[in-house]
Amino acid sequence: MPEMPFIWAHRGASAVAPENTLAAFQAALAAGADGIELDVQVTRDGVPVVLHDERLDRTTDRRGRVRGLTLSQVRQADAGGWFHASFRGERVPTLQEVFEWAGDTVELNLEIKDAAAAGAVLALLRFYPAARVLVSSFDRSLLRRLRRAAPRLDLAVLCDRRFWRGALREAVRLDARALNPRQDLFGAVMASLCRQRRLRVYPWTVDDPAAMRRLLRQGADGFFTNDPAAARRLLSASDVAGD
Catalytic residue numbers, as ranges: 10, 52
> In the 8-state DSSP scheme, what is residue 69?
S
User: Are residues 56 and 45 in contact, defined by beta-carbon separation less than 8 angstroms?
Assistant: no
Give the span between the Cα atoms of 135 and 209, in whole angstroms. Answer: 27
Cα 1 from chain centroid (whole Å): 27
By the 10 Å C-beta count (0-12 exposed, 13-18 middle, 19+ buried), 234 is classed as buried
Give the span between the Cα atoms of 177 and 181, in whole angstroms. Answer: 13
How many other C-beta atoms are found inside a 10 Å radius of the C-beta of residue 128?
A: 16
User: Are residues 158 and 203 in contact, defined by beta-carbon separation less than 8 angstroms?
Assistant: no
